[in-house]
Structure 1
Amino acid sequence: MDRKKLEYKGKEVLEEIEWLTARADLVQEDILQQILARNEKTEYLSKYMHGSLDVSEFKRRVPVITYKGVHPYIKRIANGEDSSLITGHPITEMLCSSGTSSGEPKMMPSIEEDLDRRTFVYNLIMPIMNQYIAGLDKGKAMYLYFVKAEMSTPCGLLARTVLTSYYKSRHFKGRALDPYNDFTSPDPTILCEDSRQSMYCQLLAGLVHRRKVLRLGAVFASAFLRAVSFLESNWARLCDDICMGRLDPAITDPGCQSSMSAVLVLPDPALAGEIREICGGPSWKGILCRLWPRAKYIEAVVTGSMAQYIPALEYYGGGKLPLVCTMYASSECYFGVNLKPLCNPADVSFTLLPSMCYFEFIPLGESGALVLDADEEEEVPVSRLVDLVDVRVGCYYEIVVTTFAGLYRYRIGDVLQVMGFHNRAPQFRFICRRNVVLSVDNDKTNEEDLHKSVTYAKKRLEPYGALLMEYTSYVDTSTVPGHYVLYWEIHNHPSVAVKNPVLEIGSEVLQDCCIAVEEQLDYVYRRCRSYDRSVGPLEIRVVKRGTFESLMDLFISQGGSINQYKTPRCIKSGSALSLLSANVKASFFSPRDPTWTP
């Protein structure tokens, strides 16, 4: 594809975004009418609509639901009943969510044309990026992507993650025709179901092509940092392969072996020597820029719970590589794109594309007064819902979707804040998952408040050359009163020679971190701690290095995907809690009550 055709294609894409967002209200109305017309005879819609195609009747009669409301229908289809229970289209597969937010994976119905919608969003990314960075077609992208083993429902429908579905589709394979999608990783290495062999080969290919790499990335920041950690442990083996021009015999996957033979064409001791010198240096600060000197940015999700990884990404990038968050999506539906991808991660907002599904929103509160204490399963009056174009800047909402595949007024569970509008389409900042909370008594701590508190407290580690790499939490009710427990994994900066961060930092510093977290939590929590005495002192348990990698491995072994994995900020799994508890090195409690004024 020549440059003129690429530029023309990019211009068309950008014009499409303008067209859709300028007519957001009309596009949304058309989308809902299409969904009703195609799915009017389904058992689910017939129960409420009785054959009507009237949009106002839909808004008056069809209830707002959670997964609990649609799960019986999905289970019946998985067991062999017809797709017409919920959709007028054949369901081609079930898409499995990561399960790390809700505690167990959910299965979402998907139809053939859903792949076209997802591909449409992917095809927007490079035309948007080209407005800010030129020449991205003159090199390669080192994107670390992974698949998860597929399963089948009792009736034979494929059950797999949304990303596995996309990577195995004709749409992903067809990207090879676009020079903007020239990846270092051969497709068979991405499609290898053994995540360690896949990681090894993808990193090896990325190192071989290190002088051609213009972009680095993964789906989530956590997966990218997992790769950096893997590289830190395996760079010597990778250098041996490059030096000898052969693949480590531990890589036994036939697809990896075959495809990597085209990457390791000849021995290259000079390249191996360069990489050894870089990786064997005294510090890994800025290591990404030294290994891939032409890289212009790191692409990964860094919003919501992923914001925890920003300091580590900036450390390994030496503060020179922008962190780019391009799109907002879920297993249920792809939602929108970031039209200003080079913005500060704290300022990322996504423009919702009105053609993806029918959007509605549950108001949660005015700016600065976010209300998240309602039960996830509460019944939401349909009169409360707000249309896409009627949301208000500064306000918080929970997103609700109606899709062609059979989800009707379905609560995704994501809390968003309106930051502005692009034409008539709102731009949202992702805040948190609604159903991730800590609570002992009347206190209700949501994911955003927990993250803000931890972010504030972890600054006390910096003077000691220490970095909080990862954290999670749970409520310990084995004591009376119950109390919050935070599991922290603390690493030293490689440039700082500290053998044991816990001993070097000292107990008083970790105790100070405990009270710093509490001081940043809300009024109700502090009242429960200091006045009602219904919540006990917060506890930080420092875990061994590598504990959170083991936690990721555990969730992946239970059906999660390395692509979609997000560290759960509130632990609900007994096996996960046992793993964390087994790796605790030291424990610290708040030394005093947090401040509280009646």
Structure 2
Amino acid sequence: MFFPPSAPLSSLQKIPSSMVPCPILHPSVYKDYHPFVSRLFEEPCTVSNVENLMAPGIPYFIAHSSGTSNGVTKHFPKYRHPEHMSTSTAGTMAASNPVSKHGGKNCIAFSLGHRQVVQPLDHEGNIARRIPVCLMSTGTVRMHNDMAVERDQIYQSIRIPNNSSPLAVSYIPNYKSFLFMHALFALQEPNMELINTMFSTIFRDFCRVIEEQWETLVQCIEDGNVPELEATGPFIENLRRLFGGPNPERANYLRTIGKATDEPGWLKKIWPGLRTIVAISSGPFITVVPECHHFIGPDVVMQTLGINCSEAFLALAYDSRDPSLYKVVGSDEIIEFLNVNEPEEAKSLTQTWNVKLGEKYEVILTTRDGFWRYRLNDVIEVVGFDPTDGQPIIHYLERRNVHIRLANEITTEKQIQGAIAAVSDSLGYVSELCVSPDYRQTTPRYAFYLELQHSPGSDADLAPAKMHTYLQTHNQNYLKDSQAGKIGVPSVHILRRGTFGEYREWKAQVTNSASGQIKVPLVIWDEETRQWLSKMVEKEF
């Protein structure tokens, strides 16, 4: 409520507080920044037009999203800040590739490739900076280690002493070739202690490559041969030079173990010293965790480094026993919380020290890279507080805007996951999944595309009805619309084994994204992807 400057103070005091409206909250979204970010992609790009654009100086790299929510790629300029302003990021980078006290090696399956390079020109027309457009993880590794794009050929010729793979492997753009080469160099190394693949889905694909290509991989180790695969041509000379020659002793050891995938802990037999798998396994990545544990066995710890999205660094892993448990970072960004059960008003925005136990919040970020009160759309639940510094301990729950709707219902990510859990006794364990609208009949319905860890159960044909019942029980609008004949019983499509790994490879090629870090959207709307999935169906219920 506005009062002119001449209004006496007493007139303000007479207004009941109930009559003073609470300001409506207007946090920012990506489209608010697009006019500024787009300057970096203008031709020609000039320093005068992009310097001090979002933060002081020129960006070190530009992070691009994988576009899983709506298929549209977003770009986030990232600047180099003093280390004391990014302590959690620096600590996470150190933990992602630790130096072993026992002389063990790490397999670090990160990409170092980029989608393009932005080259702003100074006033004389010279290139002032080469800015890679890449994944957040790629750019963070580059920035932390000061890996300039113009020195990439040098990096591709070296091997970091505590890593199993030479850096050239991390530049391979083809997903299958990328995983095969990491597997080949890892299998050659008997003293593996840590495997870091960023996401649990990538680790699962890594394990399947070893399983499916076992004989070829072992033969390559025996012969000292590095085969030239798709997209490895520019790097093959360095890969062969750094492979180390024939190793019949290691090959014989691997043949003695054999492809023992039926028993838990196969990888522990391959690498007796294996201790840790680093891979995000909360939220949509949790479904493959049982399969991952089957490969590694009970004695290998599976942990995550934290929540590090394209926008900013949000949280650190808190307890390896619970992959969805994180501690909010108190140093890198300004983090606020919007209660999801209250109106979107300013009074609903809560600071870190005022969050309440058991409440659910959407994360709102203000970053040192120029985003102000930015909606992240990630929903968390506060489950405790760290006794050492009082920072909130959170469970990651879901994306706020991920849902499917065919009529008047809105079915959330949590409800979709619940429907899958409700049919695990009929179908067997679901390794990965997505859901899409099915318009093949007069009444639309949900189409669940599922990849199973094993073959479907004997009563798999009961799964659609069980899903339907679950959704009716947990979603009142779904119940009403299904009873009114607006939504039919879901269809269940069993995909052939390895489909989602092939999806990641396909999307990496289509979108020119880095190998191994494509996420599968939970809800698929675009017709191209739906048609692609339909070709992978082995059985439909």
TM-score normalised over the length of structure 2:
0.82
1:149-188, aligned counterparts within 5 Å? 149-153=114-118, 157-169=131-143, 171=145, 182-188=162-168
Q: What do the CA deviations read for 1:121-177 (whole angstroms, capped 9, x no partner)? A: 2525767999xxx965541222322244331459675322112223434527799xx
1:364 corresponding residue in structure 2: 340
Contact 2:383 2:394 in 1 (8 A): yes
- In 2, distance between residues paired with 1:527 and 1:269? 66
The equivalent of 1:505 in structure 2 is 458
3-state SS in 2 of match to 1:91:
coil
The residue number in structure 2 matching 1:495 is none
Query: Aligned match of 2:321 in 321, 339, 343?
Result: 343
Q: Which amino acid aligns with 1:387?
A: Q
| C-alpha distance in structure 2 between counterparts of 1:205 and 1:410, whole Å | 42
Q: Is the 8 A contact 2:183 2:209 kept in 1?
A: no
Name which of 111, 123, 135 aligns with 1:146. Answer: 111
Distance 1:581 1:478 in 2: 12
Structure with bigger helix share is 1
1:447 alignment counterpart: 413
For the residues of structure 2 that align with 1:149 and 1:124, how far apart are their CA atoms? 22
Instruction: Tell me the CA shift for residue 401 of structure 1.
Output: 0.9
Asked if residue 473 in structure 1 is aligned to residue 435 in structure 2, the reply is yes
Kept in 2, the 8 Å contact 1:474–1:572? The answer is yes
CA contact (8 A) 1:205 1:260 kept: no
Change (3 A) 1:409 1:511: closer
Q: Distance in 2 between matches of 1:137 and 1:109?
A: 39
Q: For 2:354, which of 379, 384, 390 is the aligned residue?
A: 390
CA distance, structure 2, for counterparts of residue 250 and residue 571 of structure 1? 31
Equivalent position of 1:528 in the other structure: 481
Matched, 1:201 2:181: yes
Change in Cα spacing, 1:587 to 1:69, as seen in structure 2 (3 Å) is same
User: SS of the residue aligned with 2:382?
Assistant: strand
Match of 1:582 in 2: 535
Q: Distance in 2 between matches of 1:459 and 1:516?
A: 15
* 1:300 maps onto 2:269 in alignment: no
**Change beyond 3 A, Cα 1:159–1:520:** farther
2:205 aligned residue (226, 236, 246): 226
Matched, 1:461 2:447: no
1:555 maps to a residue whose letter is K
Q: Give 1:396's aligned amino acid.
A: K
1:172-230 per-residue CA deviation (whole Å, 9 max, x = no partner) reads 7799xxxx9922122222233343333222211111112x1112231001111111122
Q: Which position in structure 1 is the counterpart of 2:262?
A: 283
1:309 Cα offset (Å): 0.9
Tell me if structure 2 keeps the 8 A contact 1:476–1:482.
yes
Maintained 8 Å contact 2:86/2:331: no
Q: Which residue of 2 aligns with 1:399?
A: 363
What is the identity, as a one-letter code, of the residue corresponding to 2:80? E
Q: String of CA shifts for 1:502-522, please: whole Å, max 9, x gaps.
A: 5x7355344455446536643
Paired position in structure 2 for 1:487: 449
Distance 1:181 1:421, change over 3 A: farther
3-state secondary structure, aligned to 2:169: helix
Number of residue pairs the alignment of both structures matches: 492
In structure 2, C-alpha distance between the alignment counterparts of 1:193 and 1:117, rounded to whole Å = 33
The 2-side partners of 1:116 and 1:563 are apart by: 31
Structure 2: which 5+ residue stretches go unaligned?
1-21, 121-129, 149-154
Q: In the aligned structure 2, how far is the partner of 1:272 from the partner of 1:200?
A: 16
Q: CA deviation at 1:473?
A: 0.4
Contact 2:385 2:393 in 1 (8 A): yes
Counterpart contact for 2:338–2:350, Cα < 8 Å? yes
- Cα 1:398–1:181 change in 2 (3 A) is farther
Q: What is the DSSP-based 3-state SS (H/G/I as helix, E as strand, rest coil) of the residue aligned with 2:198?
A: strand
Q: Deviations over 1:216-273 (max 9, x none)?
A: 23100111111112222222121111111232244744545324533324x2222112
Specify whether residues 296 and 528 from structure 1 end up closer, same or farther in structure 2 by C-alpha distance, changes over 3 A only: same
For 2:469 and 2:290, locate their aligned partners in 1 and report how far apart those are by CA, in whole Å: 19
Q: CA 1:262/1:486 → structure 2, altered by over 3 Å: closer, same or farther?
A: same
Alignment of 1:545-584 (within 5 A): 545-557=497-509, 558-584=511-537
Once residues 283 and 218 of structure 1 are traced to their aligned partners in structure 2, the CA distance between those partners, rounded to angstroms, is 23
Asked if structure 2 preserves the Cα contact closer than 8 Å seen for 1:460 and 1:513, the reply is no
User: Normalising to structure 1: TM-score of the pair?
Assistant: 0.74
Please tell me whether the aligned partners of residues 100 and 555 of structure 1 are also in contact (alpha carbons under 8 angstroms): no
Give matches, 1:303-342, under 5 Å. Answer: 303-340=282-319, 342=320
CA offsets, 1:411-459, max 9 Å, x none? 1121111111122311221111112101122322221221232123223
Check conservation: 1:146, 1:195, Cα contact below 8 A: no
The 3-state SS of whatever aligns with 2:243 is coil
- What is the match of residue 70 of structure 1? 33
If asked which structure has higher relative contact order (CA below 8 Å, sep 6+), I would say: 1
Q: Distance in 2 between matches of 1:350 and 1:113?
A: 24
Structure 2 distance, partners of 1:241, 1:129, is 27
Q: Partner amino acid for 1:528? A: D
Q: Which runs of 5+ in 1 are unaligned?
A: 1-58, 366-370, 375-379, 493-500, 589-598
Contact 1:217–1:299 (Cα < 8 Å) also in 2 = yes
Match of 1:92 in 2: 60
Partner Cα distance (1:304, 1:143) in 2: 22
Q: Spell out, residue by residue over 1:258-289, the C-alpha distance to the aligned partner (whole angstroms, 9 max, x if none).
A: 24533324x22221122234343472642211
Change (3 A) 1:521 1:318: farther
The residue type paired with residue 523 of structure 1 is Q
The one-letter amino acid paired with 1:526 is: L
